[in-house]
Amino acid sequence: MIGNVLEWYDFGLYGFYAPVIARLFFPAHDPLAALIGAYGGFAVGFAVRPIGGAVFGHLGDRIGRNFVLVTSVAMMGVATTAITLLPTYSQIGAAAPLLLLVVRVFQGFSVGGEFTGSVAYLVETAPPGRRGFTGSFANIGSTVGILLAAGVAATTVSLAGAEELSGWAWRAPFLLGGVLAAAAFLLRRRLPDTGYAPGRKGGEPPLKRAFAREPGTMARAIAFTAGYGVVNYLTMVFLPTYAALAGGLSQGAALRIATASQAVALVVVPLAGWAGDTAVRRRTMLMLVFAAEFAAALACFNLTRDGGLAGYAVAQILFGVLFALVMGTEPAMMIELFPRDFRLSGYSFAFNLGIGVAGGTAPLIATWLISATGNTLAPAWYLMLGGGLACLAAFLMTDRSRAALR
């Protein structure tokens, strides 16, 4: 869990601090253009995730899960700590955004193995009939990470003045990420041997085997995670910025509501995992939730833009509950799609490609859509596209929630 806390704390923190990072690293006369630059850095970190997923997935299938979990969290900790030391544009000019993008590349690579490796570890070692509940703890960690990021960002923005925030205060939360990484590394070095035997060695790489033997499974998994990523990052990371940009709310108020939304989600995630084991098949749960995201998109963005603080709170908490249902269901569902020989390779690549390409670019595209169309509701249409894609892909996937792992 603590590795996922670190991963999503860092990525969430970058998203929540996008307006500050935009001013410091991507100066422009047009604040919207600077924000696009900051979200471009957000997207770059995700763009390399499929590469990290392929490399760590291969190592996980050939060497074992423990190696992936220890190595990825160590790399992530070094990169997160490095952000605290980066000079800004006013100090070194154009080299500042370049250095920031290099760090984001390093982070994205390590994240490619972090989440999926922990999901595989949890689901493969779960007691019979408890894969959904046990797997949900990976996303309990990610929810705690986003919750911590929102809370720290909101506290920093609320307590620090504008000059302090742009000077040193924005760096302190990233330094905390380095402390989390050190704790995660020490804990994971002591992970017990799960008894999991790596897949067969030699022959074609596990990822190549995944595409050769089950191309349909790979295609559906990539489509699902692409829609999943768009929904995730528009509702849980972009919406607070949208509330400030289009709704006129203060950044601190928007982040406090985002924190409350994550706190509610934290309770729902394990309940959703339990429900997938006992009451509702995982595929059915995912289809219903993404259909609800599609139906609620326009209304919730309208509430965020025109409804003031109360309207935004309703929209953010509703999105938080809906997405918590996905986070409690998705880990076991995705692991169950793949057989042991290439399970981590197939899952890591599909998950990180979908999340990296579609999810990581979602805030950037949403901001660009507003700029290009002049329509502040354009992100809602993009959210509907993501929700519809995820719903269709879930419908086409095979549900193995009541069968043994292959």
Residue 280 forms part of a structural domain: yes
pLDDT in tens, 218-258: 999 999 999 999 998 898 878 888 888 888 887 778 878 88
Does residue 282 contact residue 332 with C-beta atoms inside 8 Å? yes
Residue 125 forms part of a structural domain: yes
Residue type, 318: L
Question: What's the CATH code of the domain at 136?
Answer: 1.20.1250.20
What interhelical angle do 131-159 and 171-188 show, nearest 10?
A: 150
Instruction: Give, as one character, the DSSP assignment of residue 86.
Output: -
Residue type, 14: Y
pLDDT at 322: 94
Question: For the chain, what is the domain count?
Answer: 1
Instruction: Please indicate whether residue 324 or residue 181 has the higher confidence score (pLDDT).
Output: 324
Residue 219 forms part of a structural domain: yes
Residue 160 forms part of a structural domain: yes
Range of the structural domain that residue 337 is part of: 2-191+214-396
Residue type, 376: T
Residue 197 forms part of a structural domain: no
Residue 404 forms part of a structural domain: no
Residue 196 forms part of a structural domain: no
Token pair, residue 396, equals 């086409």
> Which has the closest alpha carbon to 132: 398, 325, 356, 382?
325
The CA distances from residue 272 to 228, 293, 297, 324, in Å, are 16, 16, 22, 8
Q: What's the Rg (C-alpha) of the chain?
A: 20
Token pair, residue 348, equals 């890591």
Residue 88 has pLDDT above 70, yes or no: yes
Residue 64 forms part of a structural domain: yes
pLDDT in tens, 155-178: 777 777 666 666 778 788 888 888
pLDDT at 222: 93
